[in-house]
Amino acid sequence: MKREERDGKRRLCRSMLYIPGDSPGMIQNAEVFGADSILLDLEDSIAESAKDSARKMVRSFLSGFDFGGLFVTVRVNSPDTAYFERDLREIVPCRPDAIRVPKCGTPADIMAAKALIAKIEQDSGIPEGSVKIHAMIETAIGVENAYLIASASERVSALTIGGQDLTADMFARKTREGWELFYARSRIVMAARAAGIMAFDTVWADINDSEGLFSETKQIVELGFDGKAAIHPSQIEVIHKAFRPDAREAARARRIVEAAERALREGKGVISVDGRMVDAPVVARAERLVEIASLYEYEEDNTL
């Protein structure tokens, strides 16, 4: 059985908004921005001189603030820095939904992070395995090891691609279409699916280019990603728009799911929708579309 099934229903995280850990004004308004999840950042958006205050701030919010239904992930500093262990020691006891671990290159990186997190969970008396790992793949070696990283531990519940570092590590030239990341994205989403975990895409850096963001998000939706990171609240709506199944697609998916349920009730093995045979993978894909479509409003007329 795949892990996502074992863990119960997968949570939809189309958008993940990065919020600098040292910005209380933004953190307290996190829910207002409308993202499906937030990433409280201790890494790149925080200056060296503010690492301590960001860590404290995130810890304080996690232990004393109600984020409502938001999925909250904390991006800690990279394991090759002195901050990594201190970040984990302060943050893990507050039980964020997940820790985003930068620069995962090998399964050994996961095992090291996992051992540390498990030790902290034990020391602070919280159930082992409470805090998941979202492994960031942002090096060439990480891309090549993607499946090994994804399947290294039950604790890894998502792979996420860090486009800027990866582009630099590849010596690639950045294109607006992002095709230098096509292989890495494909590989990462495949590895994540093979391991039964989620896959998240990198940020779109140009906050003034929402057209570029929209077409890139469309592309990663088509590749199979579950969500995309945002670096500005204005990007959330664009990302959600790109995840929106079109009305006909959503209506057809609904008909497939209904037909499958009916077939199950009536004990029929073969399903036909709109005169076409439908098999299990099509039903699975339709269920996923229906789930995503439930987040959007459709005009009745267009859904028929």
Measured from the CB of residue 96, what is the shortest distance to another protein in angstroms? 15
Q: Give the tokens for residue 235.
A: 């990007």
Nearer to another protein, 63 or 272 (CB): 63
70 binds another protein (CB under 8 A): no
Which residues are CB-neighbours of 98 under 8 A, at least 6 positions away? 71, 73, 74, 131, 132, 133, 134, 157, 158
- Binds another protein (CB under 8 A): choice among 1, 32, 48, 64: 64
Question: How many residues bind another protein, per CB under 8 A?
Answer: 13
HSE on the CB side for 51, CA within 13 Å? 16
86 binds another protein (CB under 8 A): no
- Binds another protein (CB under 8 A): choice among 6, 9, 25, 277: 25
Nearer to another protein, 4 or 22 (CB): 22
> To 5 degrees, how large is the angle CA 246–CA 251–CA 257?
125
- Binds another protein (CB under 8 A): choice among 3, 10, 11, 24: 24
- Rg for the chain, CA atoms, rounded: 20
Touching another protein, residues 27-56 (CB under 8 A): 28, 52-53, 56
Nearer to another protein, 57 or 150 (CB): 57
Nearer to another protein, 66 or 266 (CB): 66
